[in-house]
Amino acid sequence: MIRRAELWGGLFWLAVGAFVAWQGWLLGLGTLHEPGSGFLFFWLGLVMCAFSVTIALAGMRGQGPELADLWRGARWGRVLLVIAALIVYGVAFEPLGFVPCTLALLLFLMTVVDPVPLKLSVPISAAAAVGVWYVLQKLLLIQLPHGTLFE
């Protein structure tokens, strides 16, 4: 039963629910007739706890898939690569500016994560990054980061 996905999912949400309820308590409950800032948080947290317990119990009774099954045969390495790339992108977005960042992201995704021949990936990345920048910045007047490092 310890391998059941439902058990772990339920336990996770139980922790979240408890945390929300605690935060609601800290914010102040008020009364039923004059609810305070934390009133809804507190009760929602408790309700979440209740649901997560039922989910976890279902898991303990051996229902639902096993944790390992969820990722059986999945190429989770690629998922991690994409997430990492996105985080790096987010960090570098403002210092480097839109075009260099986007170009780098697209090239990374098209050469490392799911390879495409260079003769395709390079022109596509360049056209997409510059094209989007042009449409937004010039036609729609939406501001994109231009890179504070280059100032």
Partner 1 sequence: MEVLSGLMHGFGVALDPINLLYCFIGVFIGTLVGVLPGIGPISAMSLLLPVTLSGTPEAGIIMMAGIYYGSMYGGSTTSILVNIPGEAASVVTCIDGHEMAKIGRAGPALGIAALGSFVAGTFAIVVLMLVAPTLAKVAVAFGPAEYFSLMVLGLTILSFLTQGSMAKALLMACVGVVIGLIGLDQITGFPRLTFDRLELVDGIGLVPVVMGLFGVTEILCNLEQQVRRDVVQSRIGSLWPDKADMKASAAPIARGTVLGFLLGILPGGGAVISSFASYALERRLSKTPGRFGKGAIEGVAGPEAANNAAAGGAFIPLLTLGIPPNVVMALLLGAFVVHNVQPGPLLMTQHPQVFWGVIASMYIGNIMLLVLNMPLIGMWVQVLKAPYRILFPLILMFCIVGVFASGNAVFDVFVMIGSGVAGYLMRKFGYEAAPLVLAFVLGPMLENNLRKSLILSHGSFEIFVTRPISLLCLLVAVLLLLAPLLPALRRKREKVALDVTD
Partner 2 sequence: MAIRRRSVIKASLGTVIGAGVGMPLYLPAARAQQFPSRPITFIVPWPAGGSSDLTLRAVAERASKVLGQPFIIDNKGGAGGTLGPAQMASAAKPDGYTVAQLPITVFRLPVMQKTVFDPMKDFTFISHLSGYTFGVTTNAEQPYKTFKDVVEYAKANPGKVTYGTPGAGTSLHIGMERIAAQAGVKWTMVPFKGGAETNAAVLGKHTTLQADSTGWKPLVDAGQLRLLCVWTAQRTKNWPDVPTLKDLGYDMVFDSPFGVGGPKGMDPAVVKKLDEAFKIASEDKDVIATYAKYDMAARYMDHAAYDKFARALYLDEKAGLEKLGLAAKG
Q: Residue numbers of the site for partner 1 (CB under 8 A)?
A: 5-6, 9, 13, 16-17, 20, 23, 27, 31, 33-35, 37-38, 40-41, 44-45, 47-48, 51-52, 54-55, 64, 70-71, 73-76, 78-79, 82-83, 86-87, 89-90, 93-94, 98, 102, 105-106, 109-110, 113-116, 120-121, 124-125, 128-129, 132, 135-136, 139-145
Residues that bind partner 2 (CB under 8 A): 138, 143, 146, 150-151
CB of 70 to partner 1, least distance (A): 5
Q: What is d(CA 35, CA 31) in angstroms, rounded to the nearest whole number? A: 5
Quick check: 129 and 106 in contact, CB under 8 A?
yes
Cα distances (angstroms) measured from residue 81 to each of 29, 104, 108, 112: 44, 14, 10, 9
Spatial CA neighbour of 125 closest among 94, 104, 98: 104
CB of 135 to partner 2, least distance (A): 15
Out of partner 2, partner 1, none, what residue 150 binds, judged by CB under 5 to 8 A for its kind, is partner 2
Query: Looking up tokens 């994109």, which residue turns up?
Result: 144
Residue closer to partner 2 (CB basis): 119 or 138: 138
CB of 91 to partner 1, least distance (A): 9
Helix axes 98-108, 76-96, angle to 10 degrees: 160
CB of 37 to partner 2, least distance (A): 12
Residues paired with 35 in a beta bridge: 30
Question: 133: which 2 tokens?
Answer: 């920048």
Residue closer to partner 1 (CB basis): 1 or 128: 128
3-state secondary structure of 38: coil
